[in-house]
Chain A
Amino acid sequence: MIRFEGVTKQFPDGTEALKKVSLTFPSHQLTAIIGPSGCGKTTLMKMVNKLEKPTQGEIYIDEKPITDLEEVELRRKIGYVIQRIGLFPHMTIKENASLVPKLLGWPKEKTASRIQELMELTGLDPDTYLERYPLELSGGQQQRVGVVRALAGDPNIILMDEPFSALDPISREQLQDELRNLQQTIQKTIVFVTHDMDEALKIADTIVVMRKGQVEQIGSPAEILGNPANDFVRSFIGVERIQRQRPFGDKSLSEFIGLFKTEGTGSAHEVSGSLTVKEAFEVLEQSGQTHLAIRLGESRHVYAGERELLKAALAKEEGELV
């Protein structure tokens, strides 16, 4: 868990990037920080690994103040992915990915098997790519390596600074999906900075909306969409998106089968496919379960949790995402 307490950042020129920010990034969750440029979101993120230092206030990781920690040691335990990727062009993919384990003094075999595993997890064939150089890879592939490199030292925390915003739309969508799936396997505490609301809604467990160095709202994607705290949040989400949510809430679940999961996880509450999306939200909440099992026919089910229902609510046409 990462906790900010009364953190203020004033730059030497007098501008205040952050004003008394207090918030918590829960463990094992992906928290997206979103806001217009200049709102302080990147500064906030960079404070976690001491790339920026607060003028006032304190940051705690697992309740230990980070001022007590040596910055180089701290950074080696925190994964870091940046927008411009920043792979070392003179090193092979393998050398790039092995850098943090090397700094941590891991034995060679342990590093090699870890890299192998992560490459496979991010959909890069180790035999094809390990000996190549970054410039031989496409942008999307490079950023996959960027993610592998950040995960290599097995950090508990990963910081991602608009990691997908420089990629083409197709790679971006792919990497967002992959990050979502990856997070279900690795369960890291991820702080993800973005300016793209679609991205935040799609991948985050919690969204922090910021403006001018202050937090405007913190909540789950459903809360932010359904209950924007003020006009700023509302306009930032986009009035259009909120309005769009309504008519589709009235469509039946069976129209969105493509968005749901084919395999259930744990216990699920069984409902009929003719239920509307809106009703499904209510049923899910009342049931106390994490998922709904949607009956489609004789013993055929698809499964949907809050995230999938949200996708359905946001879908423009049947099966298509906003």
Chain B
Amino acid sequence: MNFFDTLVSRQDMIQTAFLEHIYLSFVAVAIGIAIALPTGILIARYRRFAEPIIAVTAIFQTIPSLALFGFLVPLLGIGSPTALIALIIYALLPILRNTYTGITGVDGSVIEAGRGMGMTRTQILRQIELPLALPFIMAGIRTATVLTVGIATLATFVGAGGLGDIIYRGLQSYNNSLVLAGALPVALLAIGFDLILKWIEKRTTPKGLKL
């Protein structure tokens, strides 16, 4: 059976898997942002906690993804919550590190000027540090998203669906067309997300910095 016939005959299955895949990636990145962004802001303020916390997320990153999924199953059972937790763990590091680097990289003279003019810490964070760190933060989110879309193919091993289902099925039945029908959408999804986020990244770069 050639590739296009596979696409047509397995249309429904591919479509479901595609939507599951988007759901997994999107929710994982969203929760990843919700955790890593505030943490990044906090460790930029209380710097002595920065190294240990970044180190912990970096250790998570070094666990092979297949092993992490396997490790979580006995603890959390199978299903999408398990997959999501694993994906979130992978999304943390790039967002956390870029938020931290972005904020700590803001020119000290700008902060001093703000303080000297009577801005409160919150005003400095919201009006100076975050706008100036935004391009970095967006770059971190971009990395995390592309990474997550890729790793989400492993969600199939914990029964959470996604395009990994198609690939795995193809591999088991020696059906290369089916493997391709799963892998190609993953690649397109990663590229698509990346382009959208790149566009957002450009839009969020303050005008005064693009000179």
**Contact A86 B208, beta carbon cutoff 8 Å:** no
Chain A interface residue count, Cβ-Cβ cutoff 8 angstroms: 29
Query: A103: which B residues are within 8 A, CB to CB?
Result: 117-119, 123
Q: How many A-B residue pairs have CB under 8 A?
A: 75
**Which chain A residue has the least Cβ–Cβ distance from B116?**
A80
Whole-angstrom distance between the Cβ of B137 and the nearest chain A Cβ: 14
**Which chain A residue has the least Cβ–Cβ distance from B123?**
A103
Whole-angstrom distance between the Cβ of B210 and the nearest chain A Cβ: 9
Instruction: Name which of B112, B118, B120, B132 has the most chain A CB atoms within 10 A of its CB.
Output: B118
Instruction: Name which of B109, B132, B206, B208 has the most chain A CB atoms within 10 A of its CB.
Output: B208
Interface range, B side: 20 to 34
Whole-angstrom distance between the Cβ of A130 and the nearest chain B Cβ: 13
Query: A91: which B residues are within 8 A, CB to CB?
Result: 208
**Contact B116 A90, beta carbon cutoff 8 Å:** no
**Contact B118 A133, beta carbon cutoff 8 Å:** no
**Contact A133 B208, beta carbon cutoff 8 Å:** yes
Query: A134: which B residues are within 8 A, CB to CB?
Result: 208
The answer to whether A75 and B115 touch (CB under 8 A), given A86-B110, A90-B131, is: yes
Query: B131: which A residues are within 8 A, CB to CB?
Result: 90
Measured between alpha carbons, how far is A76 from B131 in the docked complex, in Å?
Answer: 22
**Which chain B residue has the least Cβ–Cβ distance from A93?**
B208
Question: In the complex, which of the residues A49, A89, A159 contacts B110, with contact meaning CB atoms closer than 8 Å?
Answer: A89
**Contact A82 B206, beta carbon cutoff 8 Å:** no
* In the assembled complex, A39 has its CB within 8 A of some CB on chain B: no
Measured between alpha carbons, how far is A87 from B116 in the docked complex, in Å?
Answer: 12
* In the assembled complex, A33 has its CB within 8 A of some CB on chain B: no
What are 23 of the A-B contact pairs (CB < 8 Å)? A51-B115, A51-B116, A72-B118, A72-B120, A74-B118, A75-B117, A75-B118, A82-B116, A84-B112, A85-B109, A86-B109, A88-B128, A89-B107, A89-B110, A89-B206, A90-B207, A90-B208, A99-B119, A100-B117, A103-B119, A135-B208, A136-B211, A149-B117
4 extra interface residue pairs, beta carbon distance < 8 Å, beyond A73-B118, A100-B118, A103-B118: A82-B116, A87-B113, A89-B206, A90-B208
